[in-house]
Amino acid sequence: MEDIIKVEGVAKAYGKHQVLENLDIAIKKGECFTLLGPSGCGKTVLIRLIAGHEVPDAGRISIDNTVVADAQSGEYIPPERRGLGIVFQDYAVWPHMTVYENIAYPLKMEKRPKEEIDQLVMKMIEVVGMKGLENRLPSELSGGQQQRVALGRALVADPNVMLLDEPLSNLDANLREEMRFEIKALQRKFGITVLFVTHDQEVALAISDRLAIMDAKGHIRQIGDPYEIFEKPADLFVFKFMGIANFMHVTQRGNDFVVGNGSQVVPWDKPTGTAASWVAGFRPSDIEIHRQGPGLKGTIHRANFLGATMDYAINIDGESVRTELETHTAINNDLMFKEGEECYITFKALHWFDAEQLKEVEE
Ligand SMILES: Nc1ncnc2c1ncn2[C@@H]1O[C@H](COP(=O)(O)OP(=O)(O)OP(=O)(O)O)[C@@H](O)[C@H]1O
Ligand SMILES: [Mg+2]
């Protein structure tokens, strides 16, 4: 598939604060591409650069094979001529306009005939599930309804590309889940390219064809499909960012690797490559817990009943590990542990990282 948005070597600083530097991203036509990263890492800045509300200090941005910003030549195409539908993070809708007027706005700007506007707006009101509320003002709508109006306004002019900066942040968990499926469905239905920004790992995995994981310095650590990002993390930062993670320090003793400072030899494939010391990374769902060995022996130092799951913190030779077990599975298999009891753990999956990487994310 051909690239529709190309960001090449882009840099942006505010005063002495270098937010983005030498950033490259290419988004393919028709895909849903998500930017995921910690607060303040530069996601909104990147969206604003692509939208044309900021100009890059260096580098070049093209949309649909047209250069829209080029720091070197000074080329710059204003936002309204970039053919983008945008939902910004900081404001959703215009407070003084009704639902109808908000959604009609981009079409009025394009000076489309009144009848055509009416037809398109009414159709979009239906698509975003706002029928019957078209004459309300935003103050008479819930946060979630306002975000739907914003989505409708972004979609109505039939853009090829949509930039959505945290469009679901005001929604409660249920509505957020519903809307993420709706966005995905709209994207498929209209064949739109979507650049989506979120904090929410679960939303990102559910909605994306590909994701980019950014670190706090605005560097891209990995680009891949949801499976690659979750199962084949490029480094410890990506692994940690994508969900609850356990890290177990592992020490080399001769040919063996032992857990922490104890004497239990790790039973898995040894790390390959060179590092002064290693950590093993795994998620709560990567572990199985047993009453008897084989496996690494530990002690339950905290047992929490969370309803559907049991949450155990296990101490293994000074290393703390969290695991999660379905309550029914625990009951049916005599795995309702009490604090202080002995247990054994085995692993379904595990990743090796250089221990230096752990220091870096813990800074
Ligand atoms: N106009 C501006 N002037 C000065 N600094 C700015 C400006 N816009 C953004 N910044 C800074 O750039 C950095 C990146 O901001 P940005 O809004 O892109 O973060 P973000 O990744 O979108 O975060 P969040 O997830 O919280 O929305 C922040 O440190 C921010 O303070
Ligand atoms: Mg932001």
CB count, 10 Å around CB of 81? 10
User: Which ligand 1 atom minimizes the distance to the CA of 214?
Assistant: 21
- What does the pLDDT look like over 175-216, one tens digit per residue? 777 777 878 887 888 889 999 998 888 889 988 999 999 999
Q: Which residues of the chain have pLDDT under 50?
A: none
Region label for 67, one of left (φ > 0), alpha (ψ between -120 and 50) or beta (otherwise): beta
Predicted structure pTM score? 0.86
Q: Which of 14, 88, 170 to mutate to test the pocket of ligand 1 (most atoms within 8 A of CB)?
A: 14
**C-alpha of residue 200 to centroid of ligand 2, in Å:** 12
Sort 97 into a burial class: Cβ within 10 Å, 0-12 / 13-18 / 19+. Answer: middle
Domain ranges of the chain: 3-238, 244-362
Which of 255, 264, 221 lies closest to 353 in space, CA to CA?
221
Closest ligand to C-alpha of residue 14 is 1
- Give the model's pLDDT for residue 292: 94
- Give the model's pLDDT for residue 90: 64
Closest ligand to C-alpha of residue 199 is 1
Residue 288's contacts (CB-CB under 8 Å, 6 or more residues apart) are 295, 345, 346, 347, 348
- What does the pLDDT look like over 20-35, one tens digit per residue? 999 999 999 999 999 9
CB count, 10 Å around CB of 111? 7
**C-alpha of residue 228 to centroid of ligand 1, in Å:** 28
Q: Which of 12, 18, 34, 41 to mutate to test the pocket of ligand 1 (most atoms within 8 A of CB)?
A: 41
Rg (CA), the chain: 25
CATH classification code of 244-362: 2.40.50.100
CATH topology for the 3-238 domain? Rossmann fold (3.40.50)
Which of 174, 7, 179 lies closest to 87 in space, CA to CA?
179
- Give the model's pLDDT for residue 91: 61
Q: What is the dihedral of CA 197, 200, 201, 204, to 10 degrees?
A: -40
Q: Atom 18, ligand 1: which residue's CA is nearest?
A: 42
DSSP letters along 5-61, please? EEEEEEEEEETTEEEEEEEEEEEETT-EEEEE--TTSSHHHHHHHHHTSS--SEEEE
- Give the model's pLDDT for residue 211: 96
Q: Atom 20, ligand 1: which residue's CA is nearest?
A: 40
